[in-house]
A = this chain, B = another copy of it.
Amino acid sequence: MVEVQSITFPEGITLQCGEKVAPLRVAHQTYGTLSPKRDNVIVICHAFTGDQYVASPHPVTGKPGWWSRMVGPGLPIDTDRFFVICTNVLGGCMGTTGPTSERAGTGRPWGKDFPPVTMHDIVAAQVKLIDHFGIDRLFAVIGGSMGGMQVLTWATDYPDRVFAAMPIATSPFQSAQNIAFNEVSRQAIYGDPNWHGGDYQAHGVIPARGLAVARMVGHITYLSEEALTRKFGREIRPGTVPSSGDPLSALPFGGMFQVESYLRYQGSNFTRRFDAHSYLTISRAMDFFDLGSEHEGNLSAAFRGVKTRFCVVSFSSDWLFPTSRSRTLVRAINQAGGHVSFVEIDSDRGHDAFLLEEPDFDRTIRGFLNGMARQAGLSAGECDNAV
């Protein structure tokens, strides 16, 4: 049994859709030490299928934390200096209340009856935890992809509580193409023989094939065409082609391309650690996200009066959340008279680049946090000279 750090709020949370989820449990991991003034807090928001294990081994897979190269002592997000909190999102399946949690009074999990959540709800759950810790203001909120949607929601919903914000490889709205890919994933799950109209938990099964297909779709969109070509090209997986003895035929009849093998592995591996209803709930929360729509389509209105200092980061080969979306965001913040800097990192690795070794990106994060720390009057960290 994995021990999960969490706080339970018996009163629960009332969601934007009007429904109430109670109790509310918020699972989280923390790194570093909270300063006496409680002014050194960085909230990291995870992406779609991420979790709170940002810099510690994943309890199911045993793999290192998903950002362990970025978060730790002396690293760009320096835990010798900052107190880092990462929560599992509302609707997730790693300890925070979601479809796999027991619905009070029923003895059964929420399952398909878990209500729809939004980025506002996801961040509101995080706010409850921050309040519980007695933290008034965050030094910074940082997140990539869907994590970036949470960063934008934090800064616009709680403008007085966020000093600095880094929305990374993200967008102020979910695009038609993003919705379309999510819809393919959802249909793959609905079409699984183990779906049972959403009641798979009652049948003691999981819609693993559909969930694997969903994950495969995701993986393609996370990588650039160049990265897929460099990683796999048209290589054949060894041992999958029956030797035909025909020297003329170099074709892999019956064989498997490496890229297929990779996707199958990613797909089936994923089903060990992720719940289908959580997948559906969170993908829908992303689809709902559209900051401008809440201000009659005027995105800059969302940033009116927001004093948060933003550093927007995009990656040149990211086609899921392309640089053009970050530019739209930067323009809107500028129009609202806000503080914003913008960096496009040159990388050919696609959306996934924010999780990979990209020295320019590391320098951007380290530099922004150090600069902001000076502005916020935080005591100088040892890493200041490392910029």
Contact = CB atoms under 8 A, between A and B. Distances in A.
A187 interface: yes
Contact of A252 (B219, B288, B322): B288
Interface in A36-66: none
Q: Determine chain A's interface SS by DSSP, over half rule.
A: helix
Interface in A114-136: 116, 118
Contact of A179 (B192, B234, B250, B293): B234
Contacts of A252: 288
B18 A225 contact: no
A205 interface: no
Contacts of A385: none
Interface stretch (A76-84, A145-153, A253-261, A371-379): A253-261
Interface of A: 16-18, 116, 118, 173-177, 179-181, 183-184, 187-188, 190-193, 209-210, 212-213, 216-217, 219-220, 225, 228-229, 231-234, 244, 246, 249-254, 257, 259-260, 263-264, 267, 287-288, 290, 293-294, 319, 322
Given A176-B228, A176-B257, A192-B193, 20 more contacts: A16-B249, A17-B244, A17-B251, A116-B253, A118-B251, A175-B228, A175-B229, A177-B220, A177-B229, A179-B234, A180-B259, A180-B260, A187-B264, A188-B188, A191-B209, A191-B212, A217-B217, A234-B293, A251-B288, A257-B287
**Closest 7 interchain pairs by CB?**
A191-B209, A193-B193, A176-B228, A183-B260, A176-B259, A177-B225, A176-B232
